[in-house]
Amino acid sequence: MRPLLGALAAGLDLVLPRSCAGCDRPGAVICPGCRVELARLALPDEGLLAPHPVPAAWPGCTGVLRYEGVAARLATEVKDGGRHDLVPPLGRLLAEALRRALRGRSPPRGGPVRLVPVPSAPAAVRSRGEAPMLVLTRVAARRLPGRVDVVPALRVVRRTRDQAGLTREERLANLHGAMHVGRPAAVRGRSCLLVDDVLTSGATLTEGRRALLDAGAERVDLAVLMVTPSRYRWGGQGSSLPFLAVSD
């Protein structure tokens, strides 16, 4: 079935004109103008990020883009708009966030670092046909030096409210106890890197990290593709992204 679907998708791509996911301009998946805007939204590589206020026991997080403008539109399109053609460029950007998180770390005991994507709710997976963060994490993992294992260890075990519009305290309460590790042996005693698309209040990553530590993970670091500007503070200007060439 998968090869057939892939062939159909390729055939449709020949018939239907592609458009930029950021501005709908016909042509490239991400047009040159939107790539320039993405470069302006790049976060400098100046250490770990934290939301304000900082959640308890927050270990710091890495990211590469501010979640606004074109970046926000791309995140929405790949997650809810069915734009699978965005997976390669966004996966490359996510790989940079993962490299920042893994840089300078001592080799972990017990084997490769476990990359653990934040899970989607079962209903969302059924609606989309896939788990977007799992797909993006697998693409990003292939671009990392050395061996890492992508382990979808977390699952959502109870219904939660939509996080949009909730306060930080409401987000934390909404997600507390919502995630569980189905096979603790997959993370027990291991170094894990929890991966998500957008960091806002830190509630989702806090809950995922709690579940992994409760399952016996030795260490859990955090990385995201984008961060919400209104909730974060950083200094400096970023301009370098790993995919500015139009050929991408």
pLDDT of 234 over the 60 cut: no
pLDDT at 229: 77
CA dihedral 79, 150, 182, 3 (to 10 degrees): 60
The share of the chain scoring above pLDDT 90, in percent, equals 53
* Coil, strand or helix at 120: coil
pTM above 0.85, yes or no: no
Sign of the CA dihedral running 76, 82, 84, 85: negative
User: Hey, where are the domains in the chain?
Assistant: 42-231
Per the prediction, the chain carries an average pLDDT of 81
Q: Which residues contact 118 (CB under 8 A, 6 or more apart)?
A: 133, 154, 194, 195, 196, 197, 204, 205, 208
pLDDT of 225 over the 80 cut: yes
pLDDT at 174: 58
- How big is the CA angle at 90 (ends 133 and 10), to the nearest 5 degrees? 90
Would you place residue 138 in the very low, low, confident or very high pLDDT band (cuts 50, 70, 90)?
very high
Please report where in the chains the tokens 């382990």 appear, as a residue. Answer: 151
Q: What is the mean pLDDT of residues 220-238?
A: 71
Which class in CATH covers the domain with range 42-231? alpha beta
Please report where in the chains the tokens 């965005």 appear, as a residue. Answer: 86
Read off the pLDDT of residues 21-31 as tens digits, 9 standing for 90 and up: 999 999 899 99
Please report where in the chains the tokens 């788990």 appear, as a residue. Answer: 131
pLDDT of 130 over the 90 cut: no
pLDDT at 82: 85
Read off the pLDDT of residues 63-111 as tens digits, 9 standing for 90 and up: 999 999 999 999 999 988 889 999 999 999 999 999 999 987 766 666 7
Taking a C-beta distance cutoff of 8 angstroms, is the pair 190, 153 a contact? no
Q: What is the C-alpha separation between 25 and 79, in angstroms, rounded?
A: 20
